[in-house]
Each structure stands twice: as structure tokens, then as C-alpha cells.
A and B are shown apart, each in its own frame.
Chain A
């Protein structure tokens, strides 16, 4: 595609500069899916930096024994805010942002099905994030203690009862998550409707890019996972404000019921976050392997399978509660079974790489890192699915290391890959490959220093959420290594932020299709015009741009 003249950017930019207020007004009132997508992503990146900073403070505190860098109260707030922010105000919005931006472009539509609902969902979710952080100022301001929530990200009852959490810090947590949940359900509804009702002619379900398929599964999962959380938060608010007894053990209520309700949301939520990550891998790996994805129908079937099975695994978070042998066996088996469709995906990606002409761009390097680390995260997951092993290691640093391997090693790595891959489409300029490779290697080293070595103090019995520890436990060296890894990760992330800013101004012009890719978003300019496509496209196969570039050998002959 190099023959095409480098973009019309200059023409667009020649218009007189608009006032800041006009630009702001434009963004605040927009209903365009691309702008809302970018706002989601920008908002998530801001919270990523904030929550990452909180993690850094915690690692400073834990780097040496008997440390008093932060107080125990502040430490409790830090891990609560870090977890809540990363899941609800980084993970969800950044994935919804990419979905918002890419889905209409990939299915040849001009916008989402409900543009105003889209804007509403974004603003209500972003208000939730602001509310959560306002708790630092307003949590219990009247007590002069300005406090953030400190009940942990899963907020077990009865810790959230008025007796144990006086003031309003827990209310901020509940309301923030309730609002974010409403936004998530709205966006998921919009994504499903867009995918079902807005496809361009010829874009049958079995021709949709796999990214679109995975977002469809993920959004359906949001309906049945975020809604229970919303219901549980309503109950918690009734308990706190109206004096009902859902989770009040004094009046016969059940603390375990909250655990069930939370994890009915909590475990599928992991899949809500990882499915879009699979979605990015499904687009990025084939393009840089110069091959069509291996086993498209198997990939779709595996995704739908993961969606269903993920609904039956929640209580593996509760093996230590004492559910009885029957329930323990069921949830052990269900958790193990989910590794089958996941394994299908990993083998299909490997088969896509196999025999391909692999281009090791920064994006592809992150994608390969994702594959490798996701495999290891999955293996420790299978270890933890075994109830007796979990009894030994539940709530230890081994668990923390396991799920950070998923969230950072898999999801964050593929997110970085997605940024390097789609940044040119969103801004019209390429990210610097050189800085990108530095970013990859520094972050990779930091990641492995932190999260490989975090397993070991867990095996040695270090519990999660402790504020500090004695010097004679033998955890000191491991914690030191883990904390030093955090420094590398910080440097890597700062490089990435610098790269994004620098490339936005000085990066090479990307052109419509810098990676010689095959899906519809690369058929329009970078960045796309607000109407996306001047003429609504018609597709004949899963790789419409391949057909266009190779009229002598179109894909439609083989599908």
C-alpha cells in the first residue's frame, strides 16, 4: 500500500486554528464513536498512571521489613484504590474505548447503534471514577480525616457495614462502582446492538473480524456479570442507608452471600477483561505473521465456550470458606475445563505464527510476550484451581502474583501491542519503533523481576494485604527484587507516555494502511473522517482488503 500518497492531514490542518473553548465544547458534546473511544482511552490512561503510582507506593513500603514509609491506614486505602481503579477505571474503559473506536470501523458502519447512549455511558462511567477519587477529599471530611475506601477491592461483608466502616468512604466506593456498572451495561448494550444491526452488506457473522466476535461475547458477558454486581451494590447501599440486613450477620444476614454475589461478577469480570485482549491478539498476530488466522471457526467456538464456562467458576475464589466437598469438586473441575478452550486459542495463535513471515515490530514483540506470559498465568491458574493447593496458598502473594501475571503479563502487554498497532489509525502518525522496542525490553525485564519473584514469598507464606513484615521471615530479598522490578516498569511506562506525546507531534505520517493489514478500518484515512466511510463498503470475505489488493486471488474463493 506504499504507493498511496501520504494522507490528507495537511489539508485538514490548513483550516484556521480553533479556539480552545470550541475544541473543548466539541469533545464534551460529541456523540462520535471515535471521539468517545479516544476519551475512554485517555481517561483510562490517566487512571493507569494514578493506580500505577499507588502500586509503586505499596512496593516502596514493602521493599524492606519493618518499614514505615506509609501508615497502615494509608496502605489499606492504597491497595483498595489500586485494585478498584485498575479493574473499573482502567481495564473496563480502555477496552471499551478500543471497542468503541474499532468495532464500527471494522464492520463498515458509520457510528454505533445508539450514539447518544454511547456518550451517556462514557460520561456516567467517568463520573464514577471522579467520585471514587473525590473520596480522598470528601470521604469523611466532617471528621477531618479525609479518607478513601479501605475495604479491599472485593469489600467483604461485614467490613462494609456501618459499624466497621463509619463515615462515607465505603459509600463513595459503592456509588463509584454502581455508576461505572451502569456505564458498562450501556456500552455493552450498544456494542451488541451495533454488531448485530449495523454490519455493512456482505459482513455475515462468519465473516466478521475475530475482534468483533470477541467483543460480542464480552459484551454479552457484561450483561450477566456486571448486573449482579449492580444488584449487590444496591443491596449494600440499602444496608448502609436504610438499615436493611442483607449482609448483616447480627440479624441473620449472610456475609458469604456477598462473597457469592461479588465473585459471580468477579470471576467472569476477568474474562470480560481478557476477551478483548484475545481480540487484539487475533488481529495483530496474523497481520505481522503475514498469514490469515489459523482456525477461525475454532477461535469463535472457543470464545463462546469461554463465555459460558466462565459463568460457572466463581466459587474457586471461595475454597477456604468451607463450601463442602461437592461444591469444591464442581468448581475445581469447572475451572480446569476452562483451560481447554483457552488452550485451543493458544495453539491457534502458535499455528498462525508457524511458517509465517514474522515481522518483529514493537507491537508484535508485545504480542509474543503476551502469548508466553498468558500461558504461564494460565498454568498457575490451573495450580490454584486445585482446592487443596488453594487452601495452602489462598490470600497469599502467590495469588497476587498469579492474577497480576494475567492482568499485566497478558492484558497490559497486549494492550501495549494494540497501542502500537492502532495508534497510527487513531492519530495518523506512527509511534517510534525504536522507543517502542526500548519500552518492550525494559518493561519485560521489570515485569519478570516483579511478578516472577512475587510467587516465591507467596509460597513461603507471605499473606497479601499486609502492611509490613518481620525481618526474620526470609521474605526480604524477594520483596526487594519485586520492588526493584517496579522501577523498571515505571521507566518503561514513562517511555511509552513520552513516545505517545512525541509521536503525536513529530511521528512519521502513517498513511491509511501502514501495516498492510486486511480489515476494513485500514481502508479509510488515518485518522478516519467523522463519517468513517464515504461509501458504505461491501465485503466478500473475512479479509476485504486482501481481496482488494489481490483481485487475482481473493479470499472468498477459499472460505
Chain B
């Protein structure tokens, strides 16, 4: 059979293709963006259509500090990738730890906000259309933050134990792409929920 399988070999020019991890993550981001888009459309469509209170204007406060934390964690994760790329592993651990910390602050902020909304203002997912769309959209984003934090913590663990080396830069870069996406979605969610919807 071998004579059938032989196709002429040609090594004239180097054959370089994009990295699988980055393309795969880009695909995932497109699919996730479509999911978020539907939730955002539902949110925009139902602004002001609630039949009963409370309204966003009454109960929502701008989460400025936690948003700054989340957005700056994009910078720290980038610095972590960059440090790993140059082989500076302890610096990488430091930046990863900073990223996890900043993400956790954001998540704690969301938890605090939800606690206030539920126990102070009596707003749950059942209360009205605002509650329905608010908790599902912000919750969907928070779920993505949780997934990202779990993976970043794993990366931090591997970085501390020394099993993540500069060979793994590509992998950490893929994870950082996901994290950048989660941050970018927050910009949109923030605009829709806290600016347009309020």
C-alpha cells in the first residue's frame, strides 16, 4: 500500500499555522459572546417593563471600585504571561496571585451587592422582570469569573510548585485570553445594567 500513500514531499518553504489553543479559545469566545448577546438583548428589551418595583434606579449603586479591580486584573494577567515568557517564574506567580486577588475582590463585591439587594431591597429573580434579567445577566458573568478564577488559581498553584515553565507560555496565554474576554464582557454589562438601565 505504501506506494499509494506517498505524496511528493516538498520542504521548499516553512509551513507555519496558527496555534491551536488561540484559535480554539477565539472560537469559544465567539460562541460565549453570542450567549451573552442574547441575555443582553433580553435585558435591554425588558428595561422599564417591570410591572412592580423595585426599579434599578431605586436599588442599584455603581460598583466603581470592584469594576476597577476586575479591569486592572486584565493588566496583571498580561504581566504574568509576559513574565513567564521571559522565564521569570516567581514574578509570574506574583502577578497571577494579584490577578486572583483582584478577581476575588470583584466577586466579593458582587456577592455583597446581591446580599444587599435580596435582604435589604427584597429583589429576587422572582420579583419582577428587572430581577429576572439582572440576576441572570450579572450571574452569567459572575459564573464566568468563577470559572476563570478556578483556572487562574490552578495556574498559580502550578507556578508555585514550579511545574509551569516558559514552555507553557502558550497555555497561560490562552487562559489570559479568556480572562480578557470576561473583563471585556463586564464593560458591556456595566454599560447596559448600570448606565443605560439605570
B15 pairs with A201, CB closer than 8 A: yes
A sample of 17 inter-chain contacts (CB < 8 A) reads A108-B7, A114-B24, A185-B31, A197-B20, A199-B17, A224-B30, A224-B31, A227-B38, A228-B34, A235-B39, A238-B125, A253-B132, A261-B38, A264-B38, A523-B7, A533-B5, A535-B6
- Flag whether A113 is at the interface (Cβ < 8 A): yes
Number of interface residues of A (CB under 8 A): 62
**Residues of chain B contacted by A251 (CB below 8 angstroms):** 51, 128-129
Q: Closest B residue to A253 by CB, please name it.
A: B129
- Flag whether A8 is at the interface (Cβ < 8 A): yes
A4 pairs with B125, CB closer than 8 A: no
Q: Give the secondary structure class of B's interface.
A: helix
- Flag whether A257 is at the interface (Cβ < 8 A): yes
- Flag whether A120 is at the interface (Cβ < 8 A): no
A245 pairs with B2, CB closer than 8 A: no
CA distance A189 to B27 in the complex (A): 6
- Flag whether A15 is at the interface (Cβ < 8 A): no
| Stretch among A50-58, A301-309, A538-546 lining the B interface | A538-546
A228 pairs with B38, CB closer than 8 A: yes
A244 pairs with B125, CB closer than 8 A: yes
Q: Closest B residue to A190 by CB, please name it.
A: B24
CA distance A512 to B23 in the complex (A): 33
Q: Closest A residue to B6 by CB, please name it.
A: A535
- Flag whether A60 is at the interface (Cβ < 8 A): no
B23 pairs with A197, CB closer than 8 A: yes
Using CB atoms and an 8 Å cutoff, list the residues of chain B in contact with chain A: 1-11, 15, 17-20, 23-24, 27-28, 30-32, 34-39, 42, 45-46, 49-51, 125-126, 128-129, 131-133, 135-136, 140
CA distance A305 to B178 in the complex (A): 29
A202 pairs with B129, CB closer than 8 A: no
**Residues of chain B contacted by A4 (CB below 8 angstroms):** 1, 3-4
- Flag whether A30 is at the interface (Cβ < 8 A): no
Interface residues of A in 240-267 (CB under 8 A from B): 242-246, 251-254, 257, 261, 264
Nearest CB of A to B171, in Å: 13
A223-B5 contact in complex given A251-B51, A251-B128, C-beta closer than 8 Å: no
A189 pairs with B31, CB closer than 8 A: yes
Interface residues as binary, A174-202 with B (CB distance below 8 Å gives 1, 0 otherwise): 00000000000100111011001111011
A227 pairs with B31, CB closer than 8 A: yes
Contact of A114 among B10, B20, B34, B133 (CB under 8 A): B20
**Residues of chain A contacted by B10 (CB below 8 angstroms):** 201-202, 538, 540
Q: Closest B residue to A511 by CB, please name it.
A: B4
A231 pairs with B24, CB closer than 8 A: no
Contact of A196 among B17, B28, B135, B140 (CB under 8 A): B17
CA distance A512 to B6 in the complex (A): 13
Q: Closest A residue to B52 by CB, please name it.
A: A251
CA distance A261 to B9 in the complex (A): 50
B35 pairs with A227, CB closer than 8 A: yes
A197-B18 contact in complex given A257-B42, A548-B7, C-beta closer than 8 Å: yes
CA distance A540 to B15 in the complex (A): 13
Using CB atoms and an 8 Å cutoff, list the residues of chain A in contact with chain B: 1, 4-5, 7-8, 108, 113-114, 185, 188-190, 192-193, 196-199, 201-202, 220, 222-228, 230-232, 234-235, 238, 242-246, 251-254, 257, 261, 264, 512-513, 520, 523-525, 533-535, 537-540, 544, 547-548
Tally A-B pairs: CB < 8 A: 148
Nearest CB of A to B28, in Å: 6
B125 pairs with A252, CB closer than 8 A: no
**Residues of chain A contacted by B51 (CB below 8 angstroms):** 251-252
A524-B28 contact in complex given A201-B10, A251-B128, A252-B50, C-beta closer than 8 Å: no
**Residues of chain B contacted by A201 (CB below 8 angstroms):** 10-11, 15
B2 pairs with A534, CB closer than 8 A: yes
Which 7 pairs of residues, A with B, have the shortest CB-CB distance? Answer: A537-B7, A227-B34, A231-B38, A244-B132, A201-B15, A189-B27, A538-B10
**Residues of chain B contacted by A533 (CB below 8 angstroms):** 5
CA distance A225 to B18 in the complex (A): 25
A535 pairs with B8, CB closer than 8 A: no
CA distance A520 to B140 in the complex (A): 44
A231-B20 contact in complex given A251-B128, A253-B129, A535-B5, C-beta closer than 8 Å: no
**Residues of chain A contacted by B5 (CB below 8 angstroms):** 523-525, 533-535, 537
A192 pairs with B35, CB closer than 8 A: no
Contact of B35 among A230, A513, A539, A547 (CB under 8 A): A230
**Residues of chain A contacted by B1 (CB below 8 angstroms):** 4-5, 7-8, 512, 525
Nearest CB of A to B86, in Å: 26
Q: Which of B27, B39, B42 has the most CB of A within 10 A?
A: B27
Nearest CB of B to A246, in Å: 6
A513-B4 contact in complex given A193-B20, A196-B18, A223-B30, C-beta closer than 8 Å: yes
Q: Which of B9, B34, B39, B140 has the most CB of A within 10 A?
A: B34
CA distance A264 to B15 in the complex (A): 39
Q: Closest A residue to B131 by CB, please name it.
A: A244
**Residues of chain B contacted by A544 (CB below 8 angstroms):** 7
CA distance A525 to B4 in the complex (A): 8
Contact of B8 among A113, A254, A540 (CB under 8 A): A540
**Residues of chain A contacted by B18 (CB below 8 angstroms):** 196-197
**Residues of chain B contacted by A537 (CB below 8 angstroms):** 5, 7
**Residues of chain B contacted by A189 (CB below 8 angstroms):** 24, 27-28, 31
Nearest CB of A to B181, in Å: 14
Q: Which of B20, B39, B131 has the most CB of A within 10 A?
A: B20
B126 pairs with A243, CB closer than 8 A: yes
Contact of B24 among A193, A225, A227, A242 (CB under 8 A): A193
Q: Closest A residue to B39 by CB, please name it.
A: A231
**Residues of chain A contacted by B11 (CB below 8 angstroms):** 201, 538
CA distance A555 to B14 in the complex (A): 22
A223-B34 contact in complex given A113-B20, A192-B27, A197-B17, C-beta closer than 8 Å: yes
A252 pairs with B34, CB closer than 8 A: no
A242 pairs with B17, CB closer than 8 A: no
Nearest CB of A to B51, in Å: 5
Nearest CB of A to B39, in Å: 6
**Residues of chain B contacted by A193 (CB below 8 angstroms):** 20, 23-24, 27
Q: Given A235-B39, A245-B132, 18 other A-B contacts at CB below 8 A?
A: A189-B24, A189-B27, A190-B24, A192-B27, A222-B31, A223-B34, A224-B31, A228-B37, A228-B38, A231-B35, A244-B131, A246-B42, A254-B46, A513-B4, A524-B5, A525-B1, A538-B9, A539-B7
Q: Closest B residue to A250 by CB, please name it.
A: B51
Nearest CB of A to B11, in Å: 8
CA distance A461 to B143 in the complex (A): 49
**Residues of chain B contacted by A525 (CB below 8 angstroms):** 1, 4-5
